[in-house]
Structures are given as C-alpha cells and as structure tokens.
Amino acid sequence: MAGQQQMQVERLEQLVGRFRFASIIAVIASALGSLLMFVIGGVKVFLAYSSYLGAALADKGGMKDSANVAIDYMVQAIDAFLIAVVLMIFGGGIYNLFIREISSPEPGAKHIVGIRKISQLKRVLAELVIVILMVKFLEEALHNLGSYRWEMLILPAAVLMMAIAVRVLRLKEL
C-alpha cells in the first residue's frame, strides 16, 4: 500500500515537473517583445537623425525646433531600449528558473542573465522599472518645458518611494 502511494506521489511530481515547460510561452513572448522594442528604439533613433539632419540639410532656420524633436525621439528610444532589456532579462530569468535543467552537465556553465533565484529576478526588474519611470519623467519634463505643474512631482515621488522600497528589500536580503 505504501509503495503504491509512493508511486502515485512520484507520478504527480513528474507531471508537475513537466508543467514547468509551459513557462516557455513567457520566454518566447518576452523574446519577441524584446525584439520588437529594440526595433522600435532603432526606428526612434533613425527618426531623431532624420528630423535633425533633414532640417539641417534643408537649411531651415528652425534648427532649435528640430533639435528638440530629435531629443524627444532619443528619449523615447532610450525608453524603448530599456523596456527591451526588461523583457530580455525577464525571459532569461524565467528560462533559468523554470526551463533550464537544475543540474547542468558542466560545472562552470553560464546562466542566461545570471538569474538563479526568483528574488534576484524581482529585484532586477524592480530596479529597471525605476529607471524606466525616471526616463518617463524626463520625457514628460521635456514635453512640458516652461509649463510645469505640481502634479508632475507625483511621478518622481513614486520613483523615490519605489527606490527606497527596493533598497530596504536589498538590505533585508543581506
């Protein structure tokens, strides 16, 4: 009787162990999303160059305006690249945590993005979200030059609180 229960438990463990491969959907979707965001970032950089150089080659007097447009595109490109990196790290972390074999055949085998624990993945993603929000604030500040309102302080205050929370959690891990 005990042997039969042990076999049932082992079968259940095997089934649950195989279910972890369903996370490949998250890995593939993250990789595709990351690729898309890299393309979007590249297009934004191209638009920045074309808007600035287009005005320069046309010999227009609005170089300052075209420079502002180029800066806006570059900030948007930074934002897109950061999101691409977040998706890449997320996908690599999920791969390391759930799909990659726990016991690697080689002792010095490298892990994708170096994520070995879910707490590491959460911390890295939180830090990247903070950076993305800082870039978003920069984007908003550039759009509202000269017409600042007190409501604009909400985003940097939220970023500050998130940064403090991540720092406290990091200290707690030590």
Residues above pLDDT 90, as percent of the chain: 23
What is the C-alpha to C-alpha distance for residues 72 and 135, in angstroms, rounded to an integer? 11
What is the C-alpha to C-alpha distance for residues 116 and 100, in angstroms, rounded to an integer? 10
Position 39 scores a pLDDT of: 98
Average pLDDT over residues 65-93: 90
pLDDT level of residue 78 (50, 70, 90 thresholds):
very high
**Whether 69 contacts 105, CB under 8 Å:** no
Position 162 scores a pLDDT of: 87
- Between 92 and 104, where is the model more confident? 92
Distances (CA, A) of 73 to 20, 66, 112, 128, 143: 40, 11, 31, 20, 11
Average pLDDT over residues 35-64: 86
- Nearest residue to 90 via CA among 29, 42, 151: 29
Length of the chain: 174
pTM score of the predicted model: 0.73
Whole-number average pLDDT of the chain: 81
At position 103, the amino acid (one-letter code) is S
Q: What is the pLDDT of residues 100-136, one digit of tens each?
A: 765 455 555 555 566 777 777 888 888 888 888 888 8
Helix 118-143 vs helix 63-94: crossing angle, to nearest 10:
170
Residue 174 in this model has a pLDDT that exceeds 70: no
pLDDT level of residue 30 (50, 70, 90 thresholds):
very high
Position 109 scores a pLDDT of: 53
**Whether 142 contacts 122, CB under 8 Å:** no
Question: What value does the CA radius of gyration of the chain take, rounded to a whole number of Å?
Answer: 23
Average pLDDT over residues 27-32: 94
